[in-house]
């Protein structure tokens, strides 16, 4: 038994060492085009280790099962050898292909490379035959070497084992299966192992170097399958004509609402805090602080969320990019990294210092990779807090604790700065430390509101207040108390700008989306926002067709000042239409999705 256990340990370690050596080889191969230090290399190995550990466990599964089976029946050594041949070829192909293609693609190996197998002549047109032959030789040499290493590790015990020992060994092995599954999954947290968890640097080459190419390739199959969101309802010319009238990328004659064009900026995404919990619904007792701040600042009274999930809503808010019914762009790093982001824009155009704060697991839904790629130079998240603080809420660190961190950042960061912050306590299971309402949902939003109010009052008394703009808006609304996608109130969200940088209170009555924040904000700062093609400056004279789109799973809604329409893809029909009938709403919604899906496919 000891020989078998030792064999499995050696097999796992050998696989893990291959991945570590492959990372070093990848970086050294590309050293001519990318600057990095020895310390950077160590960081790549350290941050990428979690994916390597998980992927090595995937590869261990078959030897693990064969070893259990070998307790009861004699297995030919060639059964193991057959698996070694397959794995050695897969690993060598992954390493050589990933290393070779990176200089052309500048992103990690994924399933998109398979499409080029349909047209091999075109795929090889950019390289010489010597280039191809050399890499074939590399694959064969590496595969042979690794097959030899695996084969040397194989142990086939000739000793007879008692039936009782076989049974005990099998039961022990079965007990280890959950541990292997947990290791593959990456732990017991809500987030599972994903590419984004290894991102750690503003240097994308270092992030890419940390990604395990085998894991990246396997994970991309789900991504590639879900990427097929090509909506086509009309001719491209007609679609482009409609979208060009709906979306303008220039700010002309915008009303100036701010006292400075270089304010410190804090963008707070209020978890799930839709209009049903604010004065929009007619209730003023759930979020009294937000309602008061809406009167004191700039209040966008008719803003609508683009989506129903945090990962979508964050991309809509920071990148001004539309959401889609069936996919999350954040979960596709090769796409999300190409999006504009107010962090990168402010960093490049005005030298802003950038930081993102979140009390939960920042690896969830590839959030880390999106934020780092988007220009947030520093991240604070759950693991930066004490163990006791991490356990204050189901999703991570409670809001009153992270609001304290937010306040500390406002007083310590170099100015001007942009701080992004996602709250989390107003989320199921609604575990908050106060009891104001008997309804646990309402109680959670009241708690969030108290945290907001306390933070703003502390900030108001600080030196930073006079030159700070705080932008608050929800990431999405929630289905609650019978409210669903058939009611426009579900996605009607408050967007509030407050702070000493605001010249005077003002109500903006125009219909808009959360995707309009980047263009509207940058327009106020006098910064070009041409790259935000799906974001509109609500205060510009070019904003002539106020309309809001919202997507949900297999459907979308459209809203203007007098009409609301809900379209379902599965049944291919309008399922709800309220207010004045406006046939153009459905046409506009289809055009926006067609244009956005085409844009995504081309990224």
The 10s digit of each residue's pLDDT in 534-562 is 999 999 999 999 999 999 987 899 999 99
- DSSP H helical ranges for 483-582: 517-525
| Mean pLDDT confidence for 317-324 | 97
Pair 19, 54: CB distance under 8 Å: no
Q: Using pLDDT thresholds of 50, 70 and 90, give the confidence band for residue 410.
A: very high
Q: Which pLDDT value is given to residue 3?
A: 78
Segment 433-451, tens digit of pLDDT:
999 999 999 999 999 999 9
Q: Is the pLDDT of residue 161 over 70?
A: no
- Looking at per-residue pLDDT, the higher value among 436 and 225 belongs to 436
CA 98 to CA 505: how far, in whole Å?
55
Q: Using pLDDT thresholds of 50, 70 and 90, give the confidence band for residue 33.
A: confident
Q: Is the pLDDT of residue 118 over 60?
A: no
Query: For the chain, what percent of residues have pLDDT higher than 90?
Result: 69
Closest CA to 449 of 289, 271, 281: 289
Q: Which pLDDT value is given to residue 180?
A: 80
Q: Is the dihedral of CA 318, 322, 328, 330 positive or negative?
A: negative
Work out the burial of residue 274: count CB atoms within 10 Å of its CB; fewer than 13 is exposed, 13-18 middle, 19 or more buried: buried
Collapse the DSSP code of 601 into the 3-class scheme (helix H, G, I; strand E, B; otherwise coil) and give the result.
helix
Query: For the chain, what percent of residues have pLDDT higher than 70?
Result: 93
Chain centroid, CA 218 distance in Å: 18
Chain centroid, CA 326 distance in Å: 15
Segment 492-509, tens digit of pLDDT:
999 999 999 999 999 999
Question: At which residue do the structure tokens 């009274």 appear?
Answer: 301
pTM as predicted: 0.81
Collapse the DSSP code of 495 into the 3-class scheme (helix H, G, I; strand E, B; otherwise coil) and give the result.
strand
Work out the burial of residue 125: count CB atoms within 10 Å of its CB; fewer than 13 is exposed, 13-18 middle, 19 or more buried: exposed
378: which strand partners? 355
Q: Is the pLDDT of residue 191 over 80?
A: no
User: Quick one: DSSP state of residue 253?
Assistant: S
**Degrees to nearest 5, angle at CA 563 with 561 and 564:** 115
Q: Is the pLDDT of residue 154 over 70?
A: yes
- DSSP H helical ranges for 106-128: 120-123
Segment 347-373, tens digit of pLDDT:
999 999 999 999 999 988 889 999 999
Q: Is the pLDDT of residue 221 over 80?
A: no
Q: Using pLDDT thresholds of 50, 70 and 90, give the confidence band for residue 158.
A: very low
CA 107 to each of CA 224, 381, 401, 453: distance values in angstroms, whole numbers, following the listed order: 15, 26, 37, 43
Q: Which pLDDT value is given to residue 227?
A: 52
Segment 368-403, tens digit of pLDDT:
999 999 999 999 999 999 999 999 998 899 999 999
> Looking at 190-204, 274-288, 289-303, 468-482, which range is the least confident one?
190-204
Pair 540, 248: CB distance under 8 Å: yes
Segment 121-148, tens digit of pLDDT:
555 656 778 888 999 999 999 999 999 9
Q: Is the pLDDT of residue 1 over 70?
A: no
Q: Is the pLDDT of residue 195 over 70?
A: yes
Q: Is the pLDDT of residue 160 over 60?
A: no
**Dmax over Cα atoms in the chain, in whole Å?**
88
Q: Is the pLDDT of residue 159 over 90?
A: no
* CB-side neighbour CA atoms (13 Å) of 477: 32
CA 352 to CA 374: how far, in whole Å?
13
Q: What is the mean pLDDT of the chain?
A: 90
Q: How many CB atoms are located within 10 Å of the residue 488 CB?
A: 21
- Looking at per-residue pLDDT, the higher value among 339 and 482 belongs to 339
Q: Give the pairing type, strands 512-513 and 548-552.
A: unpaired
| Mean pLDDT confidence for 163-181 | 77
CA 70 to each of CA 148, 181, 261, 349: distance values in angstroms, whole numbers, following the listed order: 21, 22, 72, 64
CA 457 to each of CA 48, 133, 261, 453, 524: distance values in angstroms, whole numbers, following the listed order: 42, 68, 23, 6, 25
């Amino acid at each position: 038994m000891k020989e078998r256990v030792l064999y499995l340990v050696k097999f796992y370690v050998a696989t893990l060492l291959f991945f570590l050596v492959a990372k070093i080889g990848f970086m050294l191969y590309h050293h001519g085009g990318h600057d990095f230090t020895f310390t950077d290399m160590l960081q790549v190995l350290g941050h990428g280790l979690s994916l390597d550990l998980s992927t090595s466990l995937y590869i261990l599964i078959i030897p693990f099962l064969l070893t259990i089976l070998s307790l009861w029946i004699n297995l030919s050594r060639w059964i193991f050898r057959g698996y070694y041949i397959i794995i050695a070829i897969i690993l060598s192909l992954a390493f050589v292909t990933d290393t070779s293609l990176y200089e052309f693609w500048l992103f990690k190996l994924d399933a998109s490379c398979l499409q080029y197998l349909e047209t091999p002549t075109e795929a090889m047109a950019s390289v010489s035959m010597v280039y191809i032959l050399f890499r074939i030789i590399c694959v064969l040499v590496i595969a042979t070497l690794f097959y030899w290493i695996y084969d040397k590790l194989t142990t086939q015990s000739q000793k007879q084992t008692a039936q009782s020992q076989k049974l005990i060994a099998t039961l022990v092995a079965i007990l280890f299966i959950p541990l292997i599954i947990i290791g593959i999954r990456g732990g017991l947290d809500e987030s599972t192992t994903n590419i984004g968890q290894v991102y750690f640097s503003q240097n994308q080459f270092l992030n890419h170097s940390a990604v395990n190419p085998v894991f990246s390739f396997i994970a991309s199959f789900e991504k590639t399958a879900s990427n097929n969101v090509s909506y086509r309802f009309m001719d491209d010319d007609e679609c482009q004509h409609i979208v060009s009238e709906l979306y303008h990328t220039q700010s002309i004659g915008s009303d100036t609402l701010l006292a400075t064009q270089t304010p410190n900026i804090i963008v707070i995404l209020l978890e799930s805090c839709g209009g049903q919990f604010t004065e929009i619904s007619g209730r003023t007792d759930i979020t009294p602080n937000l309602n008061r701040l809406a009167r004191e600042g700039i209040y966008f009274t008719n803003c609508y969320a683009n989506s129903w999930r945090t990962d979508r809503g964050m991309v809509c808010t920071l990148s001004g990019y539309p959401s889609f019914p069936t996919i999350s762009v954040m979960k596709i790093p090769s796409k999300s990294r190409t999006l504009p982001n107010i962090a990168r824009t402010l960093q490049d155009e005005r030298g802003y210092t950038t930081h993102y704060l979140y009390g939960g697991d920042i690896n969830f839904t590839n959030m880390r990779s999106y934020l780092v790629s988007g220009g947030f130079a520093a991240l604070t998240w759950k693991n930066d807090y004490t163990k006791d603080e991490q356990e204050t809420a189901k999703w991570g660190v409670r809001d009153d604790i992270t609001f304290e961190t937010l306040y500390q950042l406002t007083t310590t960061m170099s100015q001007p700065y942009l701080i992004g912050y996602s709250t989390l306590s107003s989320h199921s299971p609604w575990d908050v430390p106060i009891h104001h309402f008997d309804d646990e949902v309402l109680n959670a939003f009241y708690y969030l509101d108290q945290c907001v109010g306390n933070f703003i009052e502390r900030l108001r008394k600080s030196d930073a207040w006079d030159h700070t703009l705080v932008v608050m808006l929800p990431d999405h609304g929630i289905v609650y108390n019978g409210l669903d996608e058939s009611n426009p109130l579900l996605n009607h969200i408050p967007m509030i700008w407050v702070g000493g940088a605001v010249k005077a209170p003002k109500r903006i009555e125009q219909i808009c989306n959360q995707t309009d924040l980047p263009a509207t904000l940058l327009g106020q700062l006098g910064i070009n926002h041409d790259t935000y093609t799906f974001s509109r400056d609500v205060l510009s004279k070019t904003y002539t067709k106020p309309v809001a789109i919202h997507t949900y799973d297999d459907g979308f809604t459209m809203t203007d000042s007098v009409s609301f329409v809900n379209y379902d893809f599965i049944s291919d029909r309008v399922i709800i239409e309220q207010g004045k009938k406006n046939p153009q709403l459905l046409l506009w919604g289809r055009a926006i999705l067609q244009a956005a899906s085409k844009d995504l496919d081309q990224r």
